């Protein structure tokens, strides 16, 4: 998430009651997760396992629960509970604001766009030109919809990420990480009925131009779907997946988190994708593997009883 304007680091430190060490004259441009950070961003870390990764990341400012050696030009904001500090920042710069009607006055809607009765449009939503938003669609705060987009009935755009801070030394193991990211849907996309697309935790979930989603597709937080992709019904894509252009996922494919599917890959129905797939190939099965190899394997599996009978008679 980017702040509306750069914020003095001293102001952030005062907000979260942090001890500021290092470059105290700097301004923070936003707050992000470790795999999305850019120069000028804040990031938080509360486990020794990830200290070094955060310190060496692109983040300029690290909210941390232990004083460490500071990389040149960076700053530490030392607090007892970095996760709570993260929540304080999110709630300050992107607070929950209750809706006052079915379409927020802060929403911007382009020329020629049709919004059906019963559709909900949240705060600071931007919708482009010549779109069709059909009944019972929900578009949550800060989402961005391009031109010539169709969103079929019952779709939910911008629901919270399924993402939790986990510690087993407290009564409630899973603490919700407030989602401050967006969903960005580019031009000429169609979203089928009853699809759900989660907003990024701190960054954007993106649906690339020209992509088409069938009914009841779920796309997790921070996933980036490329251009001209085809996603059939009941596909489930976990968080932080990178799907390149021209990928096809047929019905009921499941995709594991934080992996990449490269350009032009095709995954046959009911397959399970558990690792990165190379492009311009067809895949099938769980785990998804080369289609032709998997088909030959099935032929040999069917021959096992015949082969066993021959071996038994030797």
- Burial string for 243-270 (b: 16+ CB within 10 Å, else e) reads bbbbbbbbbebbbbeebebbebbbbbee
Render 116-184 in DSSP notation, one character per residue: -TT-EE-TT-EE-SS-EE-TT-EE-TT-EE-SS-EE-TT-EEEEPP--EEE-TTSSSSEEE-----EEE
Catalytic residues: 221
Tokens 């700053």 -> residue: 75
Is the CB of residue 11 less than 8 Å from the CB of residue 31? no
H or E stretch at 197:
strand 196-198
């Amino acid at each position: 998430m980017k702040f509306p304007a750069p914020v003095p680091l001293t102001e952030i430190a005062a907000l979260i009651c942090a001890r500021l060490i290092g470059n105290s004259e700097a301004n923070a441009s936003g707050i992000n997760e470790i795999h999305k950070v850019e120069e000028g961003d804040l990031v938080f870390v509360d486990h020794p396992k990830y200290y070094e990764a955060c310190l060496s990341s692109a983040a300029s400012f690290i909210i941390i629960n232990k004083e460490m050696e500071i990389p040149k030009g960076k700053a530490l904001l030392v607090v007892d509970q970095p996760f709570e500090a993260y929540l304080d920042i999110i709630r300050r710069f992107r607070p929950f604001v209750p809706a006052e009607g079915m379409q927020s006055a802060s929403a911007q809607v382009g020329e020629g766009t049709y919004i059906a009765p019963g559709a909900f449009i949240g705060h600071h939503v931007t919708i482009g030109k010549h779109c069709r938003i059909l009944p019972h669609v929900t578009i949550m705060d800060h989402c961005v919809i391009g031109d010539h987009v169709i969103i079929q009935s019952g779709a939910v755009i911008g629901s919270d990420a399924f993402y939790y801070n986990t510690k087993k030394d407290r009564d409630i193991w899973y603490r919700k990480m407030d989602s401050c990211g967006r969903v960005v849907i580019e031009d000429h996309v169609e979203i089928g009925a009853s699809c759900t697309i989660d907003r990024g935790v701190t960054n954007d979930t993106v649906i690339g131009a020209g992509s088409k989603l069938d009914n009841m597709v779920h796309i997790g937080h921070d996933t980036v779907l490329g251009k001209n992709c085809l996603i059939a019904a009941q596909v489930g894509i976990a968080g932080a997946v990178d799907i390149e252009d021209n990928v096809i996922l047929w019905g009921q494919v499941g995709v594991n988190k934080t992996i990449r599917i490269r350009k032009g890959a095709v995954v046959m129905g009911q397959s399970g994708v558990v690792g990165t797939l190379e492009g311009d190939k067809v895949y099938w099965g769980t785990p998804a593997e080369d289609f032709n190899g998997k088909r030959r394997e099935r032929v040999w599996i069917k021959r096992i009883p015949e082969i066993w009978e021959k071996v038994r008679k030797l």
